[in-house]
């Protein structure tokens, strides 16, 4: 399928007091209708900065965005803000991770969703708008939508607020949904309900979903493809079965090592990634992960001086690492025995 969203060589930088922050450094990705791409990584890896660039939400006075972004075949980078604003909400929409802060506390929930609808349907009357909003509240599983229309955010539970945010994002039936940590503030039961809701809505309308998350359990449940980011760069990318089932980059190994598994050795310790992510003002030369990588000593000077470029591992699976195929195959065999599959 042709991708609805295509991003090529995206670079996002900000000017800070101590230098230039290279939040996104040459990332490329694509998402087709009816498919979900999950972008994963630790805080500070550049996930949200890439998503905000797709939505055209970076302030041009404080940031620089280069590369190519096309939504439905229409380029976004360099277009006037008025044109990009017309696409937001209608062709692409966003669900933020904290619905309590995203919703205005002094306005009724129904009115806020109605405002998002009327921006793109200025001729819609009050009765038509209310009917559409009530329909969307019901569609996302909120009971008694007529009554809930007139309630305030504090009268909703956390799960209901997130459902209301999804209703606001989908009220104009966008073809692309950017979900930025949509389940991070929810308990696991409500999280499962929200993920099931997103999957059902995607099946109904064929929406392309760009999911920003750090939760590999969520990725295993809902994603079709995965892009792993570190220090603003893509270090591994492929189908979810490839990246989670046969990871090829030491950073992905580290992320998976910190995830509990119902399979494998029940007594095995979790092994989180050591150290801390680097400053995006002063990214280490060579492979940016080498200061935290337990395998860098096997490669030697090359990891510290030469930036690895993504190379194909299998059909559609790419990773950026200097380790030999034999070393990575050996690690995969040991990891699979110790932890078992994640999904």
| CATH number of the domain encompassing residue 328 | 3.40.50.300
- Last residue of one domain, picked from the residues 171, 190, 205: 171
Name residue 314's beta-bridge partners. 317
Name residue 37's beta-bridge partners. 210, 225
Query: Taking 90 as the threshold, does the pLDDT of residue 171 lie above it?
Result: yes
Query: Taking 80 as the threshold, does the pLDDT of residue 14 lie above it?
Result: yes
Q: Same structural domain for residues 39 and 184?
A: yes
DSSP string, 45-107: SSHHHHHHHHHT-S-TTTEEEEEEEEETTEE-TT--HHHHHHHBTTTEEEE-S-HHHHS-TTS
Q: Same structural domain for residues 139 and 227?
A: no
| The predicted structure's pLDDT at residue 71 | 95
Is 78 part of any domain? yes
Q: Same structural domain for residues 188 and 329?
A: yes
Q: Same structural domain for residues 159 and 180?
A: no
Is 99 part of any domain? no
Query: Taking 90 as the threshold, does the pLDDT of residue 8 lie above it?
Result: yes
pLDDT tens readout for residues 149-158? 999 999 999 8
pLDDT tens readout for residues 185-202? 678 888 888 888 889 889
| pLDDT cut 70: percent of the chain above it | 94
- Last residue of one domain, picked from the residues 129, 155, 171: 171
Tokens matching residue 260 = 């509990």
Is 71 part of any domain? yes
Q: Same structural domain for residues 198 and 151?
A: no
The domain in which residue 85 lies consists of 1-91+174-343
| The predicted structure's pLDDT at residue 313 | 83
Is 270 part of any domain? yes
User: How far is 42 from 200, CA to CA, in rounded Å?
Assistant: 28
Q: Same structural domain for residues 205 and 76?
A: yes
Is 308 part of any domain? yes
User: How far is 180 from 171, CA to CA, in rounded Å?
Assistant: 18
Is 97 part of any domain? no
Pairing of strands 208-213, 176-180: parallel
| pLDDT cut 90: percent of the chain above it | 64
Per residue, the 3-state secondary structure of 269-309, as one string, reads CCCCCCCCCCCCCCCCCCCCCHHHCCCHHHHCHHHHHCCCC
Q: Same structural domain for residues 155 and 184?
A: no
Contact in structure between 336 and 320 (CB atoms under 8 Å): no
Give the pLDDT band of residue 7 (cuts 50, 70, 90). Answer: very high
| The predicted structure's pLDDT at residue 6 | 97
| The predicted structure's pLDDT at residue 337 | 42
| The predicted structure's pLDDT at residue 264 | 58
Q: What is the pTM of this model?
A: 0.90
Q: Same structural domain for residues 15 and 50?
A: yes
**What is the Cα 275 distance to its own chain's centre?**
23
Mean pLDDT of 270-297: 90
pLDDT tens readout for residues 101-112? 889 999 999 999
Least confidently predicted of 69-83, 228-242, 264-278, 318-332: 264-278
| The predicted structure's pLDDT at residue 261 | 67
Q: Same structural domain for residues 203 and 318?
A: yes
pLDDT tens readout for residues 15-52? 988 899 999 999 999 999 999 999 999 999 999 999 99
| The predicted structure's pLDDT at residue 98 | 79
pLDDT tens readout for residues 310-334? 988 878 899 999 998 888 877 777 6
Mean pLDDT of 71-88: 91
Q: Same structural domain for residues 19 and 154?
A: no
Is 101 part of any domain? no
- Last residue of one domain, picked from the residues 141, 171, 201: 171
Q: Same structural domain for residues 223 and 282?
A: yes
Half-sphere exposure of 313 (CA within 13 A, CB side): 25
Name residue 98's beta-bridge partners. none
| The predicted structure's pLDDT at residue 300 | 84
Per residue, the 3-state secondary structure of 109-150, as one string, reads HHHHHHHHHHHHCCCCCHHHHHHHHHHHHHHCCCCCHHHHCC
Is 235 part of any domain? yes
Number of domains, the chain: 2
Task: Please give the mean pLDDT across all residues of the chain.
Answer: 89
Q: Under 8 Å CB-to-CB from 172, ≥6 apart: which residues?
A: 89, 90, 93, 116, 117, 120, 121
pLDDT tens readout for residues 123-134? 999 999 999 999
User: How far is 23 from 21, CA to CA, in rounded Å?
Assistant: 6
Q: Same structural domain for residues 219 and 255?
A: yes
């Amino acid at each position: 399928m042709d991708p609805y969203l295509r991003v090529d060589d995206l670079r996002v930088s900000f000017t800070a007091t101590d230098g230039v922050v290279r939040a996104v450094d040459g990332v490329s990705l694509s998402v087709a209708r009816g498919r979900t791409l999950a972008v994963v990584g630790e805080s500070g890896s550049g996930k949200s900065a890439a998503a905000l660039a797709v939505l055209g939400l970076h302030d041009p006075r404080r940031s620089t965005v280069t590369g190519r972004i096309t939504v439905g075949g229409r380029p976004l980078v360099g277009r006037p803000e008025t044109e990009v604003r017309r696409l937001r909400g209608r062709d692409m929409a966003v669900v933020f991770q904290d619905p309590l802060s995203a919703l205005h506390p002094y306005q009724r929930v129904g009115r806020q969703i109605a405002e998002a609808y009327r921006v793109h349907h200025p001729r819609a009357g009050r009765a038509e708008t209310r009917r559409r909003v009530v329909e969307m509240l019901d569609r996302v599983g909120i009971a008694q939508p007529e009554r809930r229309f007139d309630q305030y955010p504090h009268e909703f539970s956390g799960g209901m607020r997130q459902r209301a945010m999804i209703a606001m994002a989908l009220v104009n039936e966008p073809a692309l949904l950017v979900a930025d940590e949509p389940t991070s503030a929810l308990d696991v039961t409500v999280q499962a309900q929200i993920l099931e809701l997103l999957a059902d809505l995607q099946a109904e309308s064929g929406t392309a979903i760009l999911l920003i998350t750090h939760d590999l359990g969520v990725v295993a449940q809902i994603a079709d493809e995965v892009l792993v980011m570190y220090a603003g760069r893509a270090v591994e990318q492929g189908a979810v079965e490839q990246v989670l089932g046969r990871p090829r980059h030491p950073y992905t190994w580290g992320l998976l090592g910190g995830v509990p598994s119902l399979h494998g050795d029940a007594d095995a310790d979790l092994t989180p990634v050591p150290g801390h992510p680097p400053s995006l003002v002063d990214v280490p030369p060579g492979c940016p992960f080498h200061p935290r990588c337990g395998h860098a000593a096997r490669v030697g000077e090359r990891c510290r001086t030469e930036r690895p470029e993504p190379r194909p591992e299998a059909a559609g699976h790419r990773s950026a690492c200097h380790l030999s195929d034999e070393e990575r195959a050996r690690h995969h065999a040991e990891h699979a025995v110790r932890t078992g599959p994640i999904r």
